[in-house]
Amino acid sequence: MTAFHRYLGTLLVALFAVILVWGLTLRLLRREEGPDALYAVQHWTENLLVVQTVVGVVLLVLGRRVFTQPDAWLHYLYGSLFPLIAVVGGRIAALRRERYAYLGMAWGSLFALGLTLRALQTGCGYTMGEIARCLRLT
């Protein structure tokens, strides 16, 4: 289950990056409305974030802890609480705007991207080599 947790975390980082780049690209193109596909990606990313949080809680209950870093306790905040707040904040910001509603999602994704990447670092290690080693199945 830990491999699933690691790979889902990596997928979430990638999806938040996609939403961010997509939203900023739409803004540069001066589009007022975001495509339905963007909202679908945001919706599924939110769902996967909830699944990731539940898997993390299950791992925690089963006694699996993050011991690789001295500040490993931050993994729990970066990995669940803060990204959920950023995603919800982005969704609320998107609902409050009629034009450029996708910008709220893009900004929420920017913060969630940074936080989930930080959770990946506190779980795997800070260097790219440590993260790459952590993501291998061996």
pLDDT band at 138 (very low <50, low <70, confident <90, very high): very low
| Number of domains making up the chain | 1
pLDDT of 13 over the 60 cut: yes
Q: For residue 45, what are the contacts with CB-CB under 8 A and spacing of at least 6?
A: 12, 15, 16, 19, 87, 109
Q: What angle do CA 6, 117, 92 make, to 5 degrees?
A: 110
The range of the structural domain enclosing residue 94 comes to 2-135
Tens of pLDDT, residue by residue over 51-101, are 888 888 888 888 876 666 566 677 777 777 777 777 777 677 667 666 777
| Assessment of whether the complete model's pTM goes beyond 0.75 | yes
Residue 93: helix, strand or coil by DSSP? Answer: helix
Tens of pLDDT, residue by residue over 108-136, are 888 888 888 888 777 777 777 877 777 77
Tell me how far apart the alpha carbons of residues 37 and 41 are, in angstroms, rounded to a whole number.
Answer: 6
The pLDDT of residue 68: 60
Looking at residue 69, its amino acid is: Q
Residue 17 contacts residue 113 (beta carbons within 8 Å): yes
Structure tokens at 36: 């339905």
